[in-house]
Structure 1
């Protein structure tokens, strides 16, 4: 039980009586009696006010949330009493991995009515988290006390990769000119080897695509339209080693990789291909063979939502040869990884042919903004000169590795944190349109 401002104001009147004790000898007695009456009224208010059986509260809404997105945590509160109640609701949010905006919910609920209330929460880590107790508070009938109850509303929320961002990409693929090769369900006509349809010739079309039988039949030039092969295998390799544990512009590299894999899986399936997944660090932690459809998408989502980084150096040898043993088709492999040292990159380069020999490999790095900032900063003392020189050397090594990989026929791209998904999708569409497979 907590006392209200009204009770404090009423109790303060007794202080005036106490002040009169200097000129009126009965004032002290009256002050004591007054305080006793106030305390008695406080107890009465507590006793006659509603109990925990006079309301019901339940959690509502989705159990799946998206990382780094504003999500509504909702409750349904049912006022079973005959009095209008002003509720205050506070949820017991797990520490460290959530940012709550205005977590105290205030709502007036009429007698025998239900209301839906909510507060905004931003998850900052993927995984499963249990939200336990909810504290419900309302003012007593006399307005002298407020009663608080702890209600056990344990519920597990699963924090998934950015599912909302997936919906945004479905729209942007159709509308953004940067994805012009992917208009209308990612259909890329004009290149490829699979026959798609016939249409009338227009100036600028290639003569070799003229269908002479159809031209003779229609008595006008008709050409064949082609599209890339369907059901190709497109893999996302996700490195969960130490190099992916760092934060870039407020986002952990691994979270960016996971979101990109989910977006790519959806885009690949829309394009008629099959998406696969391989998660590795010191060994292969999970491998999902290529597939499509709602069931496959849920399988990918379940594999991605709870993975976490390690503090160990990743073993590319184990990952690549495991893939080679399992996958017999020529595939497109998007690898989301990074290097801390040149030695790590050289170790990867030694075993990369195990994959790149029979598949197209795209390696995507995320730019180290702190390293670039250090390299661009004007040095003012000896320590800053050393740090700048180290940063410049590391950036130069990185450029050398990227250039070497590109010369070896591996698509190696370095992009900003905000453009990882965009870069991966655009590269996939480019590969499909130019028929590299």
Structure 2
């Protein structure tokens, strides 16, 4: 019977009975005791078996899953277990979680009162987008006797999609609506001006910009009145994500492509909340996964579906093709945020003509990444000749990254140079700064 499992307690009891029989070989007076112990063990085993197996559905359990997993985030998985037995039971929960997590020692132990229900939680952090398949939810149940266990199996073959990170979208939304972001602490973005989209005339209060005083309204009302402006809305923002071979570089379990897609999701959410239109496309040898810029309610879902299973193709990125497609398909001036990764100044210069071509018609922001390993080398204190050599090389690469920033700036191209873990806040901050300065 595959549902029946013999526990260590029973084997230990049999061992003690065996010891009694061995001693009885030398001391005949112990033989009756050995017989009694064997009889009691057999009887208790039978009772334990009957307690667990007479009731067909003594345990009910279900795995409570979200509709989808969020890539790179901790996702809450819950297991609800109800005890229908009229006595206490101890359960060992073994959930067959997807193989991608490589967790071979999953085990939850719980003790449940008769006719009571419990809820157990655990976290899963996926590192790749795609499909994740769960096996069976196995509940091994023991009575207070503990000689045998009965296995219950539930919910076999459940598959969940893993989408770009969406769990923290609400957090970013609250920060962005207040124009505040965490960059090594709380940073208040100072408004350097306003876009000239008039909203209303209101009474002056302390802190209002005196340059916005409306003197005509002031003379009519006999009190200071100011013009109030709001950020211009319905501006077009396009997010371009490089999925060439340079974006496969891993950091903390996620590739640069995954970081970029997660940032694109967070940024898209903020853009839509700000009333602008957002669109995306991915590129390598050609542009794909295109979603035209829009601000409808379903836009974030469309973007999520488009980015859900994007993988790098390990090809050399064709920026010439990107330039042609941007020119043909994005006909109105837009903010173009281009996620890629340049390691050397020569790599940038090879693509500079295409980047300048995009920047002639659009406001272009190139987003590329710090190498975390190089940063740790730069900050280290070497204690041998090899360490000194490695630090000098790392500083050379870092200096070249700064030259890339200057080279792009020379042609009116903005840039964001950031560590992968800070990508979301850095990119959203750049978007908010461009909005507040009104330079689009």
CA contact (8 A) 2:138 2:152 kept: yes
Aligned partner of 2:195 in structure 1 is 192
1:88 aligns with 2:97: no
Q: Normalization by structure 2: what TM-score? A: 0.85
Give distance in 2, aligned partners of 1:319 and 1:110: 65
CA contact (8 A) 2:189 2:433 kept: no
Q: Out of 256, 259, 265, which is 1:256 matched to?
A: 259
- After superposition, the C-alpha distances for 1:296-340 in whole angstroms (9 at most, x for unaligned) are 111112223332333222222222321221111110011121024
- After superposition, the C-alpha distances for 1:356-386 in whole angstroms (9 at most, x for unaligned) are 1111111122211212333455666665565
Q: Name the stretch that deviates more: 370-379 or 116-125.
A: 370-379
Q: Out of 79, 101, 112, which is 1:75 matched to?
A: 79
Aligned partner of 1:178 in structure 2 is 187
CA contact (8 A) 2:127 2:253 kept: no
CA contact (8 A) 1:98 1:123 kept: no
CA contact (8 A) 1:237 1:279 kept: yes
Give distance in 2, aligned partners of 1:369 and 1:119: 30
User: Which consecutive unaligned segments of at least 5 residues does structure 2 have?
Assistant: none
Aligned partner of 1:230 in structure 2 is 233
1:294 aligns with 2:297: yes
Alpha carbon RMSD of aligned pairs, Å? 3.2
Give distance in 1, aligned partners of 2:208 and 2:175: 28
- After superposition, the C-alpha distances for 1:80-108 in whole angstroms (9 at most, x for unaligned) are 44444322211101223366996424241
Aligned partner of 1:185 in structure 2 is none
CA contact (8 A) 1:241 1:311 kept: yes
Give distance in 1, aligned partners of 2:205 and 2:143: 81
Q: Out of 323, 332, 335, which is 1:332 matched to?
A: 335
1:352 aligns with 2:355: yes
Runs (4+) of structure 1 exceeding 6 A deviation are 98-102, 202-208
- After superposition, the C-alpha distances for 1:367-417 in whole angstroms (9 at most, x for unaligned) are 112123334556666655654454343333322221110111001121233
CA contact (8 A) 1:132 1:153 kept: yes
1:148 aligns with 2:151: yes
- After superposition, the C-alpha distances for 1:88-142 in whole angstroms (9 at most, x for unaligned) are 211101223366996424241523x444333222222222211121111011575
1:428 aligns with 2:437: no
Task: Output aligned runs, 1:272-287, within 5 Å.
Answer: 272-287=275-290
Aligned partner of 2:161 in structure 1 is 158
User: Which consecutive unaligned segments of at least 5 residues does structure 1 have?
Assistant: 182-187
Give distance in 1, aligned partners of 2:352 and 2:273: 32
When residues 329 and 240 of structure 1 are mapped into structure 2, their CA distance, relative to the original with a 3 A threshold, is: same
CA contact (8 A) 1:282 1:315 kept: yes
